[in-house]
C-alpha cells in the first residue's frame, strides 16, 4: 500500500517508537489516529495527527477508539499495534543475604499480559472487524513483537506476550488473507526509547555491548521495517528482527 493512502491507527503513540511512527506516517501523507494513555505526550504530536486517550487494557476503550478513528478518518485500513509496557522481574529468586525466596507478583504478570497481549489482540480484532464490516480492501496490520520473544532472563511476562504476538502474526495472516488483509510483525532489539531508558543500567550496558553493530538502535531503524511491511503487498505472516545482530 502507498503510505499516502493509509488511514491508520498507531497505539502507544505518545512517545518513543509510537510517536516516531505517527510522525513519519503523517509526513508521508497518511491519515493517522494516535492513541495512548499518556495524554500529555499525545498533545505534543504535530498538528494534523488525530489523537485521543486510549487504554488498551480496557476492552470498551478499544471498541470506542476504533469506532472514533474510523469516523474521524472516513475509513480505516491499517494498524500499527505498538502499545506496550515492561514489568520485569525473575519468576523466582533467592535473596543472597537473607535466603528468602521471592516470586514474581501475579499483578506484574497480569499487567504486562493485559497490555502487550490481550490489548494488542483486541486491537487487531476490532480493527479487522471494522475493515470486514465496511468491505475495506486492502488492509494491513503491523504487530510490534520483540527480540525477547526468543527468551530473556527476567522477562517471563514480556517474553510470553511478544512470542504470542509473533505466533499469532502467522495465525492472523492466514485468517485474514481472504479479506485482503496482510499481517506482519517487527521484532526490535535494543532501541533507544523511554521504556529502555528505564532499564537497570548494568543490564542495559551489557546488552548494548553485545550488539554486533556496536550501537543501540533508534526509532528510525524500526520505522524502516514498519514502512516495508506497510508498503510491500507481497509480505505477510512473518516477523522481521531488527536488532543490530544481537542474540539473546
DSSP annotation of 46: P
pLDDT tens-digit profile of 34-76? 999 999 999 999 999 999 999 999 999 999 999 999 999 999 9
How many CA atoms lie less than 13 Å away from 132 in the CB half-sphere? 13
> Is 158 in the active site?
yes
Give burial (CB, 10 Å; 0-12/13-18/19+) of 111: middle
C-alpha 209: how far from its chain's center? 25
pLDDT tens-digit profile of 138-166? 999 999 999 999 989 999 999 999 999 99
Residue whose C-alpha is closest to residue 221's, from 197, 194, 246, 190: 190
Alpha-carbon gap, residue 118 to 161, rounded angstroms: 8
The residue behind cell 529468586 is: 93
Rounded-to-10 torsion of CA 53, 166, 125, 222: 40
Residue whose C-alpha is closest to residue 24's, from 43, 51, 3: 3
The residue behind cell 504535530 is: 46
Q: Which CATH superfamily is domain 3-240 in?
A: NAD(P)-binding Rossmann-like Domain (3.40.50.720)
Question: If pLDDT is split at 50, 70 and 90, which confidence band does 210 have?
Answer: confident
Contact 230, 140 (CB under 8 A): yes
pLDDT(200) > 90 = no
pLDDT of 194 reads 75
Name the grid cell of 152: 530473556
Residue in 21, 65, 109, 158 annotated catalytic: 158
Amino acid at each position: 500500500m502507498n503510505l499516502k493512502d493509509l488511514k491508520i491507527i498507531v497505539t502507544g503513540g505518545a512517545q518513543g517508537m509510537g510517536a516516531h511512527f505517527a510522525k513519519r506516517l503523517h509526513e508521508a501523507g497518511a491519515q493517522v489516529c494516535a492513541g495512548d494513555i499518556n495524554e500529555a505526550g499525545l498533545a505534543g504530536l504535530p498538528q494534523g495527527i488525530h489523537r485521543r486517550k486510549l487504554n488498551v487494557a480496557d476492552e470498551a476503550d478499544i471498541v470506542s477508539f476504533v469506532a472514533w478513528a474510523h469516523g474521524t478518518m472516513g475509513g480505516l485500513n491499517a494498524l500499527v499495534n505498538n502499545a506496550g509496557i515492561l514489568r520485569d522481574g525473575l519468576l523466582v529468586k533467592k535473596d543472597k543475604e537473607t535466603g528468602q525466596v521471592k516470586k514474581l507478583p501475579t499483578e506484574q504478570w497480569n499487567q504486562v499480559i493485559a497490555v502487550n497481549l490481550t490489548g494488542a489482540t483486541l486491537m487487531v480484532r476490532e480493527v479487522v472487524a471494522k475493515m470486514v464490516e465496511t468491505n475495506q480492501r486492502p488492509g494491513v496490520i503491523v504487530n510490534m513483537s520483540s527480540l525477547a520473544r526468543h527468551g530473556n532472563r527476567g522477562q517471563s511476562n514480556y517474553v510470553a506476550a511478544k512470542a504470542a504476538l509473533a505466533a499469532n502474526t502467522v495465525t492472523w495472516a492466514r485468517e485474514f488473507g481472504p479479506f485482503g488483509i496482510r499481517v506482519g510483525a517487527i521484532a526490535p532489539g535494543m532501541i533507544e526509547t523511554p521504556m529502555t531508558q528505564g532499564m537497570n543500567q548494568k543490564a542495559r550496558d551489557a546488552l548494548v555491548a553485545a550488539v554486533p553493530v556496536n550501537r543501540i538502535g533508534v526509532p528510525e531503524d524500526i520505522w524502516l521495517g514498519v514502512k516495508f511491511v506497510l508498503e510491500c503487498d507481497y509480505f505477510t505472516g512473518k516477523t522481521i528482527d531488527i536488532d543490530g545482530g544481537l542474540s539473546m
